[in-house]
Amino acid sequence: MKVDLSNKTALVTGASSGLGRHFAQVLAGQGARVALAARRVAALDELAGEIRTEGGEAFTVALDVRDEESVATAIATIERDFHGIDILVNNSGVSGIKPTLQVTGAEWDDVLDTNLKGAFLVANEVGRAMVRAKRPGSIINIASILGFRITGQLAPYAASKAGLLHLTKSLALDWARYGIRVNAIAPGYFRTDINDDFWDTEPGKAMINRIPQRRLGELENLDGPLLLLASDASAYMTGTTVTVDGGHLVSAL
């Protein structure tokens, strides 16, 4: 999908690896200035160098989405130095696979604070900046099909992603009057650095066989939905979740 994001600044959280790294590269490839945010700044610097080598524009900012002061400082820096924020990809997340009976309160907090509270803190700070500047924009929350359905040993993660889906709708309703669109992408099962080994095991192969398309998603399968929601092509879309899962969610209904 080809769109023109020239003169737009996009903030991608959790950009140091996985989906966030890919999203940043895709947005930069369409002309956006990309603010790369995460706790692991060294990994961000490496990615920024790669984007610049390809002719794109990227800069890095240290950000812990769980820390309200860190969020406020990062957003203020981008607003001051890099022409404001037009697009937010709220991607930071952790999973924490563990039998629910063994999950501690601290482990629950770690997942919910990152995946849900963190997404709220970043979106709210970006939203305030957009309203102050009277600048419309697009916020894209990265959810999961596990926000709609569940699987074993991921109770905190599933709860956080279900909450993120409702947060997306709530912010869309509250901020529509300001020209701020808030949508979500809910990926199904994708091969990433974190889960790569699992998909070659017997349980992993069994899960793949339950996907109607009988395959994992490729990162490139998320490019179209990302660019749709980031661009004016989705100017009349807000409060929507785009599911990218090979039909997995439909088969569970």
So which residues are the catalytic ones? 157
The span from the CA of 61 to the CA of 34, in Å, is 11
- For the beta sheet containing 180-187, the strands, ordered from the edge strand earlier in sequence to the opposite edge, are 57-62, 33-38, 9-13, 87-90, 137-142, 180-187, 241-244
